[in-house]
Amino acid sequence: MRAALPILAVLAVIVALWYAATVWMNAPWVRDQAARAGQEVTTSQLVRETMSQERPVLPAPHQVIAELWKGVTGQAVTSKRSLVYHAWVTVSATLLGFAIGTGLGILLAVGIVHNRAMDLSVMPWAIASQTIPILAIAPMIIVVLNSVGVQGLIPKAIISAYLSFFPVVVGMVKGFRSPDRMQLDLLKTYNASQGQTFWKLRWPSSAPYLFASLKVAVAASLVGAIVGEMPTGAVAGLGARLLSGSYYGQTIQIWAALFMAAIVAAGLVFIVGGIERATLKRMGLVR
């Protein structure tokens, strides 16, 4: 409760600021309409009008929540109008890409740790590639794969995999190297093979690093899937909702899709965090 109070206070301030901004940003349109109709607007009228527009410059929080609620519960979850349906389209691509990217990332990290040539030749590029705006190639991947006949889930998953790949490689190389000299020497005195050293020492000690990079990777995968949905011409998914909302000026729809994306992101990170806590607890790494 003590920890929640400051957070709630800050949230309350944010919501209050949001309402103030709603009135301020939507007021010109209301005044304009009233002037055209030759009417005067009172302050209370102005405030009421600014919060019930159909295409506001900035929708009020309750409008967004209402749209979100309508999108989630208003129809069957398989309907094209359901936000759950669109969220699922995005999440399935995210999870597939996340699984592929993480798997390949761990494999590459294993290779880098055990092979000097790979370490020296691949690792600098893996690090450098993190400074490159990889997301910029998303439209190209989508269109190229489309032209060779691959559509739907796979291209988005490839972008997600690509984005989650490098954080995992960099994090896991650090993790596999985290055992210190003394521990490695101990295993050498036991005459442990390279495989035994990996499974009994390197792999367990990399767990904290694994989860830290998984949290980054899952958030990056979601961004990849959302951006991957944009160039295909807005068929389905949260990215498509954002794009079609922006084409037709449906600001409430954009904000609802944004909130849905935020909820999904928070959910994914929360799940990874939960698995992290449970695993590290069983391993005795946290009390």
Partner 1 sequence: MRQGWPDWAKSPLIGFGAMIVLMAVIPLLSGQSPAATLGDGRLWLVLLVWAGAWLVNAWLAERARGRLSKAVVAAFFGLTLLLIWELVARLYAVPEVILPSPSRIAATFAANLGTLWIDFVQTFVKGALTGYVIGCAAAFLTAVLIDRSPFLQRGLLPIGNFVAALPIVGIAPILVMWFGFDWQSKAAVVVVMVFFPVLVNTVAGLSASEQMQRDLMATWNASYWQTLFKLRLPAAMPFIFNGLKIATTLALIGAIVAEFFGSPIKGMGFRISTEVGRLGLDMVWAEIAVAALAGSAFYGLVALIERRVTFWHPSQRH
Site residues (vs partner 1, CB under 8 A): 3, 6-11, 14, 57, 115-117, 119-125, 128, 130-137, 139-140, 143-144, 147-148, 215, 219, 222-223, 226-227, 230-231, 238-239, 242-243, 245-246, 249, 251, 254-255, 257-258, 261-262, 265-266, 269
CB of 199 to partner 1, least distance (A): 20
Among 43, 47, 44, 53, smallest CA distance to 21 is for 47
CA distances (Å), origin 107, targets 9, 145, 233: 45, 25, 35
Question: What whole-number distance in Å separates Cα of residue 64 and Cα of residue 73?
Answer: 14
Residue 41 or 114: which CB sits closer to partner 1? Answer: 114
Q: Which is nearer to partner 1, 45 or 121 (CB)?
A: 121
CB of 259 to partner 1, least distance (A): 10
Shortest distance (Å) from residue 76 CB to partner 1: 25
The nearer residue to partner 1, 10 or 35, going by C-beta atoms, is 10
State which residue, 205 or 232, has the beta carbon closest to partner 1: 232
Evaluate the CA torsion angle 9, 13, 16, 18 in order and state its sign.
negative
Angle between helices 153-176 and 207-228 (to 10 degrees): 160
> Beta-carbon neighbour count of residue 126 at 10 Å?
19
Q: How far is the CB of 82 from partner 1 (least distance, A)?
A: 19
**Residue 8 or 35: which CB sits closer to partner 1?**
8
Cα distances (angstroms) measured from residue 83 to each of 41, 62, 90, 100, 217:
36, 17, 11, 26, 24
In the bound complex, what is the minimum distance in angstroms from residue 144's beta carbon to partner 1?
6
